[in-house]
Structure 1
Amino acid sequence: MWKEQRGPLRDGMRDGVPIAMGYFAVAFSLGIAGRSAGLTAAQGFVISILNHASAGEYAGITAIAALAPYWELAVTIFITNARYLLMSCALSQKFAPGTSLWHRIGVGFGITDEIFGIAMARPGPVEPLYNYGAMAVAIPSWATGTALGIIAGNILPLRVVSALSVALYGMFLAIIIPPARKDRVVAVLVGLSFAASLALGKAAALWQVGWLTGGTRVILLTLVLAGGAAALFPIPEEKEEEGHEG
């Protein structure tokens, strides 16, 4: 029985190795940002163990640095990580009917863009042990990278820390530029988000609007721009291929 179960677990750990390597590099840069927010290595490790998303974690660290209230921190992270709700719904369709609730919760806890991708690409129903194997390699690497980034930020000179912190912004540019080049709507939305964020920041400082903090701006802009784009430019459903009707 164990030999049969060991196969998916081993496959997941194998497929999780390249993911773990990429996570470590990104998390290290995230740790530099966490150091600037005053986090300790232990705090950064715990945050990354519980939150496996660079955008959501960076938004949370930014809110912490701005001394945002807890509700703002929670809403900001919820919105930036909302895409995982859709991934969970898609992944749930691949579970075998007899899969227990605890396995579903365990797999859902470890959903990231990359782990979701390899799980969906694997033929047949979702095997929880396969996901656990990938999670066992990738998530500790993510958390360790964050902690080591904070430690390095405390040791390295300030100029070096400032230079390394730029790497995180480079990662976000690498995320948004490819889809923006392929889709004009995405490109316009990226430009609008930059302009609107700058305008709201200037307005908040000029008019001394205390409640319009960085986290609140992220919440408002995400809801308005993403909601408006979804309403005005919905993605059309793919037409069924001919020959597969009936």
Structure 2
Amino acid sequence: MDSAEQFCQIDQPLKYKSKQVNDFSRGFKLGIPIALGYFPVSFTFGLMAVNGGIPVWLAIFISLSNLTSAGQFAGTSLIISNASLFEIGLTTFIINIRYMLMSLSLSQRITPCMSLLQRCIIAFGITDETFAVASLEEKELTFPFMSGLIVGPFLGWVLGTAVGAIACSILPEQLQSAMGVALYAMFIALVVPTAKKSRAALMVVLTGILISSCLKWIPYISQISDGFRIIAATIVASTVGAIFFPKEEV
């Protein structure tokens, strides 16, 4: 074996490892803005969970094992209200079913050599924001790139939850009770900017509020449980948004 062949055998693995590092680094940089955006949202989740009676460790564990934003908020709210397992499961399934469609879409663009385990890891980290960034990638989606893109938002989500949960747990009891009002203000602050920029988002939000209010206050049907109110509001609001604001308007 001559020196040129030896060089190629050594050089190719080095190039491959270098490409992996570069892909991870590029994905991680793209995920930093997402991580920063997730922190205040998950901070709110930590406050809500602990304020509702969930232990700090369990609130953090929920965020460690879930990266579902709206589904996580809804599911935890139902747990706090002692909803049935069927309601909790059905509600989170309906809210999170979009991630299945996102994963199917990205599966057409990932590199063929990616193993099943790697695909499962990536699927865990697919969110609205990571999906949007990955969809804009012109090259094949490699495992290092997707790992880098996901790890930042995941850490931001868990860290925000931990800070919010711990902060709520060390507050005096009077302030913990007052956090219920603060949580509503935080949710409004999260929703209003998006609704102001998008007519579709505004219509979906208003429809969801209207349906939820009707199911809550109209006699007879007000006996519907919290879980099914969330399910009904989600389905109706999403349907209205899809019908009146097609893809070009979203």
- Fold similarity call, TM over 0.5: yes
Higher helix share: 2
Q: Secondary structure at the match of 1:81?
A: helix
Render the CA deviation track for 1:173-216: whole Å, top value 9, x for unaligned: 4554455446656534432321221121123xx54865x11111
8 A Cα contact 2:111 2:141, kept in partner: yes
Gaps of 5+ in 2: 1-12
**TM-score (normalizing by structure 1):** 0.81
Matched, 1:56 2:71: yes
Q: Return closer, same or farther for 1:16/1:194 CA change in 2, 3 Å cut-off.
A: same
> Using the alignment, how far apart are the partners of 2:24 and 2:154 within structure 1?
15
> Using the alignment, how far apart are the partners of 1:139 and 1:165 within structure 2?
26
Of residues 103, 113, 132, the one that matches 2:118 is 103
How many Å apart are 1:63 and its aligned residue? 0.2
Q: Return closer, same or farther for 1:135/1:218 CA change in 2, 3 Å cut-off.
A: same
> Using the alignment, how far apart are the partners of 1:171 and 1:50 within structure 2?
24
The amino acid of 2:142's aligned partner reads: E
Matched, 1:35 2:46: no
Of residues 230, 234, 240, the one that matches 1:218 is 230
> Using the alignment, how far apart are the partners of 2:185 and 2:126 within structure 1?
24
8 A Cα contact 1:48 1:146, kept in partner: yes
Render the CA deviation track for 1:119-176: whole Å, top value 9, x for unaligned: 2223301111112123223213312321221221111134544565556545544554
Render the CA deviation track for 1:4-29: whole Å, top value 9, x for unaligned: 31111122223333322222222111
- Point out the more displaced range, 173-182 or 26-35: 173-182
Which residue does 1:136 correspond to in 2?
151
Number of corresponding residues: 234
Render the CA deviation track for 1:36-88: whole Å, top value 9, x for unaligned: 22111211111112221221111011101110111111111112222212221
- Point out the more displaced range, 55-64 or 182-191: 182-191
The amino acid of 2:40's aligned partner reads: A
> Using the alignment, how far apart are the partners of 1:178 and 1:148 within structure 2?
24
Which residue does 1:151 correspond to in 2?
166
> Using the alignment, how far apart are the partners of 2:138 and 2:61 within structure 1?
33
Which residue does 1:123 correspond to in 2?
138
Q: Return closer, same or farther for 1:186/1:137 CA change in 2, 3 Å cut-off.
A: closer
Matched, 1:77 2:92: yes
Which residue does 1:244 correspond to in 2?
none
- Point out the more displaced range, 110-119 or 180-189: 180-189
> Using the alignment, how far apart are the partners of 1:76 and 1:194 within structure 2?
17
The amino acid of 1:218's aligned partner reads: I
Larger radius of gyration: 2
Q: Return closer, same or farther for 1:55/1:157 CA change in 2, 3 Å cut-off.
A: same
Q: Return closer, same or farther for 1:185/1:16 CA change in 2, 3 Å cut-off.
A: closer
The amino acid of 2:246's aligned partner reads: I
8 A Cα contact 1:180 1:190, kept in partner: yes
> Using the alignment, how far apart are the partners of 2:38 and 2:170 within structure 1?
22
CA RMSD of aligned residues (A): 2.8
**TM-score (normalizing by structure 2):** 0.80
4+ long deviations beyond 6 Å: none
Percent identity for Structure 1 against Structure 2: 36
Q: Return closer, same or farther for 1:15/1:166 CA change in 2, 3 Å cut-off.
A: farther
Matched, 1:235 2:246: yes
Render the CA deviation track for 1:93-132: whole Å, top value 9, x for unaligned: 2112333322222211101122222222233011111121
> Using the alignment, how far apart are the partners of 2:201 and 2:163 within structure 1?
34
> Using the alignment, how far apart are the partners of 1:138 and 1:185 within structure 2?
26
8 A Cα contact 1:87 1:116, kept in partner: yes
Q: Return closer, same or farther for 1:85/1:148 CA change in 2, 3 Å cut-off.
A: same
